[in-house]
Structure 1
Amino acid sequence: MNRKKADELSKVFSLDVVQSRYSDWGNFYGLVQFYPCALWDRSGYIVFANEHELKIPEISVSKRINIPKGISSLKNYKRVFSDTQIPEELPDVVEYREGAVQSIRVNKYERDKKARDACLSHYGYVCQICRVKLSDIYGDVANELIHVHHIKPISEIGESYKVNPVSDLIPICPNCHAVIHLKIPPYLPSELIAMLQGATPTE
């Protein structure tokens, strides 16, 4: 469990919580003492407004919180790190906008698939970090499998902004995408490239 990571994630995603807890697999957590509280796993989070909300059959509370199937199995779980998107045809437009904030309980950011497709139209489906094209390894089944990484994290955007699909976005493979988010804020693409070349990453 990593309290610092949980606190940083809650801050990055502007969660209005008093306490945060993190567990990679979303099943074992330390006791919650203050509410509202956010429980995080590697893909998302769930917020509990009060102690009563923890008293459900899926959760066992003793010396620590035990959620056998993980928080992702719970009703109000929010997935924020999934980046699987279906490619669309690139329209004949030259300006893209994304990051429009909808303030409900937690800020939601609109990701423009058109900007993603414009990025892929420029770079193709080769990871710009490790230079791997997954279809070269797995065949046609992975023909268009790639993640598009926002170099400036979506969560830091306070208003709708003009996106440059070439300079603001970068296609990277799932492995490199996982590594780039191992710290907050994420590593820069140049830092990951340096890691592959044997340099020591900056903290």
Structure 2
Amino acid sequence: MIPLDLFEDPPPEAQTAHETLAPGAVLMRGFAREGDGELLQAVESVMAQAPPRHWQTPGGHSMSVATTRCGPLGWVPGADGYHYAAQHPITQAPWPAMPGCLMDFAVSAAAEAGYPGFVPDSCLINLYVPGAKLGMHQDKDERDLRAPIVSLSLGLPAVFLWGGHQRTGSPERYRLVHGDVVVWGGPSRLRFHGVLPLADGEHALVGRRRINVTFRRVRP
């Protein structure tokens, strides 16, 4: 686990290193640096088609992170719980198609982390502004829990919380910067994780934002 100085870039030797978080889970530093402009452009195109919203949780609270989706299936929170749907619950329109460069990236990142053959059918885009956070949770609404989660960080640095298989306990903390990728599956697939409130700052490409793009396989 690296020191949590949000205002200092990691040393050059750490910018492309792979770090094992737990069995089946790996942090690949700088994996998305090359080609980040194309990835960001694809994400921005999705957000233009389906603008991020602060969705309501089943408990009636507004999420501090604004989200949108692309691909055949989109993860949707609502009064009846969390589920995946083929259509936007408000507009009833299909979710935007997943751009090819995002699909290719997810496949290559999963393979690099030891999960060959991963093909996502859902992509969740989380938009953070300073102060936004994500509480500790599991990604457990997918029917295919054999497939990993591939998580890409763009923009401002954030503190990623990596817990165990119970919500209780003190999670480990990892500083994620632009271009970092975390992949977890296998014995770590249902570990709890979250993000501390985003610190203010300015990123050269993304501005005062952090964009987290997570790829999932919902259907077996």
Instruction: Bin the TM-score by the shorter chain.
Output: under 0.3
Q: TM-score scaled by structure 1?
A: 0.24
Question: Which is bigger in relative contact order (C-alpha 8 A, separation at least 6)?
Answer: 2
Greater C-alpha radius of gyration: 1
Q: TM-score scaled by structure 2?
A: 0.23
Between structures 1 and 2, the one with greater helix share: 1
